[in-house]
Structure 1
C-alpha cells in the first residue's frame, strides 16, 4: 500500500487533476491508502457523530507525543476525505492540531465548494472530533 503524501504534495497532486471527476478519483485513491484501525477500534466511542456515513477514527499519542490517527468509513469518498484530514494533521502535537487552520488548505484545494452539504457537515464533524480529542490530550483529560 502506498503511503499518503505530505501536505505540499497533496496540494500539487490535487492541482494537477484536470477536472473534478479526476479530483474525486484522487480522493478515493487516497482513501484506499489509509492505515486502517485494528478491528477492536471499531467501537462506538470511535464512531464520529454528525457524519451521514459511518466514520471511525482512532486517536492516540505516540511515544514522541505526536497524534496518531487511523480511520475508516463505509463510503469511498468519505474515506478519502479522512485521508486528506489525516495528511493535514500529520506529525502534529495535539496543541498544534487544535490551533491548525485546515480551512485555508480546503480553500487552496477548492474542496468544500465541491462537496455536498452532508459531506461538508461530515468533514466538519471529523475535524471537530479530532480537535476535541487533541484538546483533551493537551489538558490531560
Structure 2
C-alpha cells in the first residue's frame, strides 16, 4: 500500500482550476475517439512533471503500460492531495482525469466517488485497451486505498 509522503506537495490545476464539470462538458463535445484522445493529451500537458525526488518506488503503480507514479497526502485541513506523473502521454491524461475527480476532497468523499463511472461518462472506458483499462483500475485502487487509509469509522 502506498504510504503518504509527508511534507511534499506537487501542485497541479486538477480539481481546482480544472473541475469535473468542465471535464464532462469538454469530453461531451467530442464526437470521435480521436477527439477524446486529443483531450487526454491536452490534459497530460497541464499536469506538471514530478521532480525526480518525488518519483519514488513506493508510489510507482504496477499494472500500467507505462511507468506511473501516484502519491497522496492528508492536508492539515482534512482534505486529500494527490499528485502523480507518467512517462506516457495517454496514461498521464488518464491520471489527470482521476485527479480532477478526487483532488481536494475528504477521504470519505473520495471513497464514495465512482471513478470507473466517470471514465464511462466521459466516453473513455469503452475505448481503452484491456491492458490500459487494467492500469486505470490500478490507479483507482490506489486512490481508494488512500481514502480508506484515512477514513474513520
- Is TM-score (shorter-chain normalized) higher than 0.5? yes
**Kept after mapping to 2: 8 A contact 1:36/1:70:** no
Structure 2: how far apart are the matches of 1:44 and 1:12? 36
Q: Quote the offset at 1:87 in angstroms.
A: 0.5
Query: Aligned-pair distance for 1:90?
Result: 2.4
Q: Report 1 or 2 for greater relative contact order, CA contacts < 8 Å, sequence distance ≥ 6.
A: 2
Matched, 1:13 2:26: yes
SS of corresponding position for 1:118:
helix
Match of 1:66 among 48, 63, 79: 79
Matches within 5 A, 1:1-141: 3-4=13-14, 5-138=18-151
Question: Structure 2 stretches of 5 or more lacking a match?
Answer: 1-11
What is the root-mean-square deviation in Å for CA atoms of aligned residues? 1.6
Counterparts of 2:100 and 2:29 in 1: how far apart (Å)? Answer: 18
Question: Cα deviations across residues 102-123 of structure 1 (Å, max 9, x unaligned)?
Answer: 2322221121100011110000
Residue deviations 1:89-111 (CA, integer Å, cap 9, x gap): 12211122112112322221121
Distance in 1 (CA, whole Å) between partners of 2:110 and 2:21 is 17
Query: What is the DSSP-based 3-state SS (H/G/I as helix, E as strand, rest coil) of the residue aligned with 1:22?
Result: helix
More off after superposition, 82-91 vs 28-37: 28-37
Give the alignment's TM-score, normalised by structure 1. 0.90
Cα drift, residue 76 of structure 1: 0.4
Q: Secondary structure at the match of 2:151?
A: helix
SS in structure 2 at match of 1:41: coil
Larger helix proportion of the pair: 1
Q: CA deviation at 1:39?
A: 2.6
Q: Using the alignment, how far apart are the partners of 1:95 and 1:38 within structure 2?
A: 29
